[in-house]
Structure 1
C-alpha cells in the first residue's frame, strides 16, 4: 500500500503557474497581485451528508472544488489557489486516481494552482480551502442591496434537486432531461465569468447552495431590505419539462439548492446592462423580482396577482441527510 507521501506525489502534485512555492514544503508561499484583496473560502463535503458514498469519484473530484470556486464567483473574485484536506477510509488508488483527475480538471478549467493540504485515514470527508483575488474595494457582498433594485438569477436553478430526487427514486425524470439534471448535481458549473463581469453592476450577490428563497433571505438580512418575488418570472419551464409536475418544479427551483447559480440584485436603471451581459456570456439571466423597503419581509406574487407572505429557511446541515 502506498504511503501518504507517495499518494500526494503521485496524485496531488502538479506544476504551479502563479505560486512561489507549492506542494512539498511545510507551507506554500503565494503573493497577491498589487491592488488586490485575497478572498478566501472553505466548504466541507461529507460522505452521506453532501454526497452518496458510491458517487463517481471523478465527478466528486470536480464538485469538491467547484462548490468552493462558486463562493469566489459570488463575490466577483478570481480563483487562484486551493489547498485540500481529505480524510480517506483507505489508500485505494482505484478511487483516488479518478478523484484527483476530476479535481485537477476543475483546477485547469478555472486556472487554479493546487498548493498543498493534508490527508489522513478516517471517514470520507473532503475540505478544500480556496483563495482568490478581487480588486481592492470591488468585492460584491451580500449587504449592498437597496430598495428598488431588481433581483436576478442565472441559469435554471432546481435541476440539481431534481437530479437528486431521481437518484433517490423519488421521481422519474424525462429521458431527454435526465443527463442535464444529473450533470447539474454532479458537475456544477461555477459562474466565474458572470461574477467577474458583475463587478460594479451587482449591488449584492451570493451563490445558491441551500435554496433560492432561503439564500435570498441572507441578502435581505445583510442588506436590511425585503423582497417581492414574481412566481411567473421564475425559470420553471425546463423543470416542468424534466419532471412533469409544476408543484415539484416550483419546490426544486425555490428550495432545492446545490445548483450554485448566482442570485444578485442590480439597479433597475442597469437592466439593459444585465441583459447585454446575458447575451455576451450566452447565459440566461432571469429577472425574478425586486427588493423592497420592508426589512426581512419576503413576499411571493402569484400568477393571479395575489401576494403571499413567505417564511423560508435554508438547508440545515444538522437536520438533513443525503
Structure 2
C-alpha cells in the first residue's frame, strides 16, 4: 500500500506558475505582487453532508476547488494559490487519480497553483484553502450596500437545487434539463471575471452557496439594510422550462443553494454599466430588487404589488 508521501508525490506534486516553493517542504513560500492585498478563504466538503459518497471523483475534485474560488470571485479577487487537506477512508489510487484530474482541471481553468496540503486516514473529507489577490483597498465586501441600491444576481440560480432534488428525491425533469442541472450541481462555474469587473461598480457582493434568501440576509446584516425582491424579475423561466412546477422552481431559486452565482448591489447610476457588462461577459445579470432602510427586512413583491416575507430560508449546517 502506498504511503501518505507516495500519494502526495504521485497525485499532487505538479509544476506551479507563481509559487516560490510549493508542496514537499514544511511550508509553501508565496508572495503577493506589489500593491495587492491577499484574500483567503477555506471551505470543507464532507461526504454525506455536502456530496453523496458515490459522487464521481473528477466532479468532486473540480467542485472542491471551485466552491472556494467562488468566494474569491465574490471579493473581486484573482485566485492564485490553493492548499488541499484530504481525509481518505482508504488509499484508493484510481479514485485519487480521478480526483486529482478534476481538481487540476479547475486549477488550470482559474490560474491556481496547488501550493501544499495534507492527507490522513479518516471519513472522506475535503478541505481547501484558497488565496487570491486584489488591488489594495478595492476588495468587494458584504458591508458596502446602501438604501436605494439595486440588487442583482448573476447567471441562473436554482439549477443546482433541481439537480440535487432529481438525484435525491426523484424530481422529474426534461432530459436536457436534468443534464444541465446535474452539471450545475457537480461542476459549478465560479464568476471570477465578473467579480473582478465589479470592482468599483458593486457596492457589496457575496456568492450564493446557501440559498439566495439566506445569503442575502448576510449581506443585509453586514450593510444594515433591508430589501424588496420583485418576483416578476426573478429568472424562473429556465427552471420551469425544464419541467419544474412554478412553486418548486421558486423554492429552488430562492433557497436551494449550491449555485455559486454572485449576488451584488450597485447604485442605480451603474445600471447601464452592469447591463453592458452582462453583454461583454456573455453572462445574464438580473436586477431583482432594491435595498431600503429597514435593516434585515426582506419582502417579496408580487405582480399585483402585494408584499409578503419569504416562506423559505437558506441552508444552515446546524439547523
Place the TM-score, normalised by the shorter chain, in its bin.
over 0.9
Separation in 2 of the partners of 1:277 and 1:226? Answer: 26
Residue of structure 2 equivalent to 1:106: 106
Normalising to structure 2: TM-score of the pair?
Answer: 0.99
Separation in 2 of the partners of 1:148 and 1:266? Answer: 9
Residue of structure 2 equivalent to 1:230: 230
| Superposed CA offset, 1:217-267 (max 9, x none) | 111100000100000000000011113300000000000000100000000
How far 1:88 moved relative to its partner?
Answer: 0.3
Residues 20-169 of structure 1 aligned to structure 2 (within 5 Å): 20-169=20-169
How far 1:311 moved relative to its partner?
Answer: 6.5
Aligned length: 319
Residue of structure 2 equivalent to 1:275: 275
Separation in 2 of the partners of 1:162 and 1:304? Answer: 28
Residues 243-282 of structure 1 aligned to structure 2 (within 5 Å): 243-282=243-282
Separation in 2 of the partners of 1:103 and 1:19? Answer: 18
How far 1:309 moved relative to its partner?
Answer: 2.7
Gaps of at least 5 residues in structure 1 are none
Separation in 1 of the partners of 2:63 and 2:110? Answer: 13
| Superposed CA offset, 1:162-184 (max 9, x none) | 00000013311111211110000
Separation in 2 of the partners of 1:80 and 1:176? Answer: 35
Gaps of at least 5 residues in structure 2 are none
| Superposed CA offset, 1:32-70 (max 9, x none) | 000000000000000000000000000000000000000
Residue of structure 1 equivalent to 2:200: 200
CA distance 1:6–1:17, shift in 2 (3 Å): same
Separation in 2 of the partners of 1:39 and 1:118? Answer: 21
Secondary structure of the equivalent of 1:11? helix
Q: Give RMSD over aligned pairs.
A: 0.9
Separation in 2 of the partners of 1:318 and 1:57? Answer: 26
